[in-house]
C-alpha cells in the first residue's frame, strides 16, 4: 500500500505541542515506511481564523525539523492544499449525499435550534438534532422542500445518521471501536452560508488526497463515527484510523495553558532547542526501546511503530523537557550554540567579544546550564569584568577572612611571573605553593574564585583563568586586593 499521511491544522493560533506531536508521529510514520507526508490547511471555519496563523504554524513546523512532501507552496497532484480554495468541491459532494439519501436539507432557524436544545435540557436529554420534530425535508415533504429551496430559504445539509445501528471501526492504537447511531448527531455538513464543516471537507480531502492513515489526536475520536458513515455513503474505502493519546498536566488534567507554556512558539522563545523539543514530544505516548531517552531524528524514524503507541494519556513532564534541553546543549556543536548566543550577548551590550573567546566560554560552561540564554547571566563575569556590585556578599564574608590577603598575595605574585598561562602550569604553581605553606586546596581556590569572578559557583577555576587570560586575571586580582587593603569590600 502507498502510505500517505497528512497533518491538517486549522489556522486558529500558534502550533500547540499536541499538534506538534501529531505532526511528528505522522512524519515519523511516513518516513519509517517510505510514505508521503502532507500538510493541509483546514480553514473552513471562517469565524475562527487568525491572521498570520498559517504562516506561524508552518514556521514552527519548519523550526521543529518536520518536513513535508506536499502542501501549500510545495506541490503535489491533488490541487490546492488549503481548504478555502476547494469550496466548490465540497458543495458537489454534499449534493451527492443528498442524491443518495445519506444527507438531507434542514431549514431550522438558529432560534428554533436553540429552542430544541432548551427542550432537551429540560427533559434531561443529551443535545441532539431531533429529525422528527424539526423543519427538514422529511417532516416537510418533497414539495415543500423544493419550494423552500427555490425561494432561496436558508438551509443546511445534515448527515443522516442511521438510528440505533452500531457504527464500527478499527483503530490501530485502540482496537475495535463501536458507537451506536443513537449517540451520534445528524452532523451539519454544509452550513447555511454554503461553507462546508470540518467533517465534510476533511473526509472529502482525505479521500481526494488518497490518505491511507488518519493519525490525529484523541479529541477527534468522537468525530470518527461520522467520518466512517461518510466514507460508506460515498462508497469509498476508509483509511486506517489512529487516535493518539491526550497530553496531560502532572495532575492528569488535560494539558492547558494555565499550567505553563503549550505552544511551540513559547518554547522556542524560552530558549529550547528544536531537537530537544521534538525528542521530548516524540516520547509522549511511545518509546522505541524503554529506557533510552535521547534519540536523533533518524533513530526515531527507524524505531517508529504506529501500533506501539500507547492508549493512555501522556504526562507532559516539564522538568524532563528542561533536562533534555541541557542534554542537547552539551551535544550540539558549540558553533551552533554560538549562533543563538551571539545576538543575546550583543543585546546585553557585551561588545568586542572575539568569536573564539565566546566559543571557549561556551565550552567551559555548557555542562552547567540548561538554556542558551543562561550563558548570559550565569557567565556574566566572562563577558565583562565584574564591578563592585557584582560580588556576592555572602561569599566575600565566607571566603575573605582577616588573614586571606596575606595568604593569597604571594601566590598572586607568583602568578604574575608565570610565563605559560595555562591551567596546567597554574596548577603546578598552586600545588607547590600549598605544599610550602601546608595549606589545603580550598584555602586558596575559593578566594581566587571570588577575586576573579565574584561568584561562589562556576566551572573549573584554573580553566576559567586561562580563558580570561593573564592580563585580565591579574587586573581582577589586583583590583580586589586594593579594595581589600582599603577596607572597601
Contact set with ligand GLU (CB under 6 A): 8-10, 42, 198, 202, 216, 220
Q: Which is nearer to ligand GLU, 27 or 371 (CB)?
A: 27
Q: Which is nearer to ligand GLU, 171 or 374 (CB)?
A: 171
CA angle, 81 then 59 then 330, to 5°: 140
Of 92, 121, 257, 339, the catalytic one is 257
Shortest separation between residue 317's beta carbon and ligand GLU, angstroms: 24
| Alpha-carbon gap, residue 324 to 72, rounded angstroms | 33
Shortest separation between residue 86's beta carbon and ligand GLU, angstroms: 14
Give 228's DSSP letter: H
Q: Which is nearer to ligand GLU, 240 or 425 (CB)?
A: 240
Q: Which is nearer to ligand GLU, 5 or 190 (CB)?
A: 5
Q: Which is nearer to ligand GLU, 195 or 295 (CB)?
A: 195
Q: Return the number of other C-beta atoms located less than 10 Å from residue 437's C-beta.
A: 13
Please identify which residue in the block is written with the cell numbers 505552544: 263
Shortest separation between residue 13's beta carbon and ligand GLU, angstroms: 10
C-beta separation of 78 from 72 below 8 A: no
Task: Report residue 467 CA to chain centroid gap.
Answer: 37
Q: Which is nearer to ligand GLU, 226 or 449 (CB)?
A: 226
Shortest separation between residue 74's beta carbon and ligand GLU, angstroms: 18
Contacts of 464 (CB under 8 A, 6+ apart): 364, 382, 449, 452, 453, 458
Please provide the DSSP assignment of 108-166 as one string: --HHHHHHHHHHHHHTTPPP---TTTSSBHHHHHHHHHHHHHHTT---EEEE-PPTT-E
Q: How far apart are the first and last CA of the chain?
A: 76
What SS3 class is residue 90?
Answer: helix
Shortest separation between residue 53's beta carbon and ligand GLU, angstroms: 11
| Alpha-carbon gap, residue 396 to 110, rounded angstroms | 74
C-beta separation of 194 from 219 below 8 A: no
- Specify which residues 243 forms β-bridges with: 216
257 is an active site residue:
yes
- Annotated catalytic sites, by residue? 257
Amino acid at each position: 500500500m502507498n502510505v500517505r499521511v497528512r497533518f491538517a491544522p486549522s489556522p486558529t493560533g500558534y502550533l500547540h505541542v499536541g499538534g506538534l506531536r501529531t505532526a511528528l508521529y505522522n512524519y515519523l510514520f511516513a518516513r519509517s515506511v517510505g510514505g508521503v507526508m502532507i500538510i493541509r490547511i483546514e480553514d473552513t471555519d471562517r469565524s475562527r481564523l487568525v491572521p498570520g496563523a498559517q504562516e506561524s504554524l508552518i514556521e514552527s513546523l519548519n523550526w521543529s525539523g518536520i518536513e513535508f512532501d506536499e502542501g501549500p507552496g510545495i506541490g503535489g497532484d491533488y490541487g490546492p492544499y488549503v481548504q478555502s480554495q476547494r469550496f466548490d468541491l465540497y458543495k458537489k459532494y454534499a449534493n451527492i449525499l443528498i442524491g443518495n439519501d445519506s444527507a438531507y436539507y434542514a431549514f431550522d432557524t438558529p432560534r428554533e435550534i436553540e429552542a430544541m436544545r432548551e427542550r432537551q435540557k429540560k427533559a434531561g436529554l443529551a443535545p441532539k438534532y431531533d429529525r422528527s420534530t424539526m423543519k427538514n425535508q422529511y417532516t416537510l415533504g418533497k414539495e415543500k422542500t423544493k419550494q423552500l429551496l427555490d425561494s432561496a430559504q436558508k438551509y443546511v445539509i445534515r448527515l443522516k445518521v442511521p438510528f440505533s445501528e452500531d457504527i464500527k471501526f478499527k483503530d490501530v492504537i485502540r482496537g475495535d471501536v463501536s458507537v451506536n447511531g443513537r449517540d451520534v448527531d445528524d452532523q451539519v455538513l454544509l452550513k447555511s452560508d454554503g461553507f462546508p464543516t470540518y467533517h465534510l471537507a476533511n473526509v472529502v480531502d482525505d479521500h481526494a488526497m488518497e490518505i491511507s492513515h488518519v493519525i490525529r489526536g484523541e479529541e477527534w475520536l468522537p468525530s470518527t463515527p461520522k467520518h466512517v458513515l461518510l466514507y460508506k455513503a460515498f462508497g469509498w474505502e476508509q483509511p486506517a484510523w489512529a487516535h493518539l493519546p491526550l497530553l496531560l498536566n502532572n495532575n492528569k488534567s488535560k494539558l492547558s495553558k494555565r499550567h505553563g507554556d503549550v505552544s511551540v512558539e513559547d518554547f522556542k522563545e524560552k530558549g529550547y532547542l528544536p531537537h530537544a523539543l521534538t525528542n521530548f514530544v516524540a516520547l509522549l505516548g511511545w518509546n522505541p526501546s524503554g529506557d533510552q531517552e535521547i534519540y536523533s531524528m533518524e533513530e526515531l524514524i527507524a524505531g517508529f511503530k504506529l501500533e506501539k503507541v500507547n492508549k493512555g494519556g501522556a504526562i507532559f513532564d516539564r522538568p524532563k523537557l528542561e533536562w533534555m534541553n541541557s542534554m542537547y546543549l552539551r551535544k550540539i556543536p558549540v558553533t551552533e550554540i554560538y549562533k543563538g548566543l551571539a545576538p543575546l550577548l550583543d543585546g546585553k551590550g557585551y561588545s568586542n567579544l572575539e568569536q573564539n573567546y565566546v566559543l571557549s566560554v561556551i565550552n567551559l560552561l555548557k555542562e552547567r546550564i540548561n538554556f542558551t540564554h543562561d550563558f548570559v547571566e550565569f557567565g556574566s563575569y566572562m563577558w565583562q569584568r565584574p564591578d563592585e556590585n557584582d560580588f556576592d556578599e555572602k561569599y566575600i564574608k565566607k571566603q575573605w577572612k582577616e588573614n586571606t590577603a596575606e595568604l593569597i598575595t604571594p601566590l598572586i605574585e607568583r602568578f604574575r611571573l608565570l610565563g605559560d598561562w595555562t591551567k596546567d602550569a597554574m596548577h603546578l604553581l598552586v600545588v607547590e605553593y600549598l605544599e610550602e605553606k601546608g595549606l589545603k586546596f580550598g584555602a586558596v581556590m575559593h578566594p581566587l574564585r571570588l577575586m576573579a569572578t565574584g561568584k561562589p559557583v562556576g566551572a573549573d577555576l584554573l580553566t576559567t583563568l586561562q580563558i580570561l587570560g593573564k592580563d585580565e586575571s591579574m587586573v581582577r586580582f589586583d583590583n580586589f586586593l586594593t579594595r581589600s587593603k582599603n577596607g572597601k569590600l
